Amino acid sequence: MEHLIDIKNISKEDILNIVNLAKEFKSGRKNSDVEKKTLALMFYENSTRTRCSFEIAGQKLGMNIINFDLSHSSLSKGESLKDTIENLYFLGVDAVVIRHSLSGIINNVMRLVKYPIKFVNGGDGTHAHPSQALLDFYTMLEKIGTVENKKIVIIGDVSHSRVAKSNINLLSKFNADIHLCAPSYLEFESFDAFNVKYHKDVKEAISGANVVMVLRVQNERHEKEGYPDSLEYKRLYEIDTDLLKRYASNDVILMHPGPANRNIEVSSELLDNRVGKTILEQAQNGVFVRMAILNTLLKQGKEV
């Protein structure tokens, strides 16, 4: 694994190695192999979990962290991303985590950069969010042991969700029984290749589910009119305690990548009283999974 851009290009073996290494970091049994390496965080889009957990992961590994300030950098004077990253490499940066609103931009700039800096996709447009899928997978294994033949239901704005796409890519490698539930205008046709099942009705979707993953409606990515307004979306798709109790299994795991829109896709009451801690544990696992990602990518170039 040279870079982490898209789960599609990561083997099952590499995914399991990351998960096992994350477990070692979480238990405290594993020490860093990448002390004194330097990580730059370049976030063109806002973030709480991804940005902070990469920063904390790097700190725990003994790395130097640069929180690259885009607005005060020479990018604002017209310097290209390629030139910026090549300069960062010569200043001593070993890896860069990029979040951007343009799908595919990280792949494109990676092809242009001539020097061996490591790239990590921190979420690009509606394309991919590979570290999120890895931490979601880690959390599922922690909670239910395996995803093979488990009913995993992803509910919400699937077509605009890089989280959903990376999760579907990953879960299909491990033979999960993947179900999507979305209003028709939020569906994404190209999931057909992954043998996923579609539901319009949320009760049917969550029936017997082992994992229910709820997504945020990505209003900022909606170009066309005709998307449901919040009240309509809430009426049709909001997951609440009563719905889970009546239709899902008792031990269903509720997940949400965050940030959650309380009382739109998930009820505030459910977050505060029943499942909020699981979702916070999901975010917490992001630190250990991102430690594993950074250690794996940067250890390869370690001098011995």
Can you read off the two tokens belonging to residue 53? Answer: 């957990």
Near ligand CP by CB under 6 A, which window of 20-28, 85-93, 201-209, 257-265?
257-265
Q: Which is nearer to ligand CP, 60 or 199 (CB)?
A: 60
Residue type, 57: A
Question: Per residue in 159-183, is it b (16+ CB within 10 Å) or e — as a string?
Answer: bbbbbbbbbbbbbbbbebbbbbbbb
Among residues 58, 66, 84, 123, which is the contact residue for ligand CP, using CB under 6 A?
A: 123
Length of the chain equals 304
261 part of the interface to ligand CP, by CB under 6 A = no
Question: Under rule CB under 6 A, how many of the chain's residues touch ligand CP?
Answer: 9
Near ligand CP by CB under 6 A, which window of 43-51, 66-74, 146-154, 194-202?
43-51
| Residue 261: CB minimum distance to ligand CP, A | 13
Nearest to 294 by CA among 20, 123, 54, 16: 54
Most distant CA pair in the chain, distance: 59
Q: Which is nearer to ligand CP, 123 or 125 (CB)?
A: 123
121 part of the interface to ligand CP, by CB under 6 A = no
| Residue 258: CB minimum distance to ligand CP, A | 5
Considering just the CA atoms, what is the radius of gyration of the chain in Å?
A: 19
259 part of the interface to ligand CP, by CB under 6 A = yes
Among residues 48, 67, 74, 268, which is the contact residue for ligand CP, using CB under 6 A?
A: 48
Q: Which is nearer to ligand CP, 38 or 47 (CB)?
A: 47
- Note if the bond before 257 is cis, omega within 30 degrees: no
Residue type, 151: K
Among residues 258, 263, 278, 281, which is the contact residue for ligand CP, using CB under 6 A?
A: 258
- Alpha-helical regions (H) of 28-79: 49-60
Among residues 257, 266, 275, 295, which is the contact residue for ligand CP, using CB under 6 A?
A: 257
Residue type, 83: D
Residue type, 40: A
- Interface with ligand CP (CB under 6 A): 47-50, 123, 132, 257-259
